[in-house]
Amino acid sequence: MHLIEIAPSAGGATAAPAPTTELFPLGELTVTQGAAPYLFSGVISAFGILGRHQRGDWGDLCEHDKRCNDHAVRSGARILSAYRVDAATRLWVITESDRSVTTILLPSEY
């Protein structure tokens, strides 16, 4: 799996205020090569799905998996969310159990 780090924007752009309902830290943010074209072309917002993930909006998961994520937030286990890009494509967001890294990837890259 090849990873691309998300770098802060240059040119004096101001960052959006941090959400007040963050459930866990994201750690280092990475994007796989397969997911990058969807994010960097503007098809879907990396900041949008990362914000949803961090606030506990697990996206397109079954109820059992959503409950597992709710438990993982409290227990320190790995957290996985899934978000639809279009009818045929989903992106996964995975935060590792130690909260050191969060990766956006295609399911086929797992």
pLDDT in tens, 25-41: 999 999 999 999 999 99
pTM for this entry: 0.82
Q: What Cα–Cα distance (Å) separates residue 5 from each residue in 58, 104, 110? A: 22, 10, 17
- The lowest-confidence range among 4-18, 45-59, 62-76, 88-102 is 4-18
User: What does the pLDDT look like over 54-84, one tens digit per residue?
Assistant: 999 999 999 999 999 999 999 999 999 999 9
Percent pLDDT > 70 in the chain is: 82
Check residue 21 and give its pLDDT: 84
Please give the C-alpha separations between residue 7 and each of 26, 29, 38, in angstroms, as whole numbers.
Answer: 14, 9, 16
Question: Is the predicted pLDDT of residue 19 greater than 80, yes or no?
Answer: no
Burial 95-106, CB ≥16 within 10 A → b, else e: beeeeeebbbbb
Whole-number mean pLDDT of the chain? 87
- Single-letter amino acid, residue 100: S
- Stretch 89-105: mean pLDDT: 98
Instruction: At 81, list the tokens.
Output: 């969310």
| CA-closest candidate to residue 30, choices 109, 93, 84 | 93
CA atoms of 56 and 79, how far apart (whole Å): 10
28-32 and 101-105 as β-strands: parallel, antiparallel, unpaired? parallel
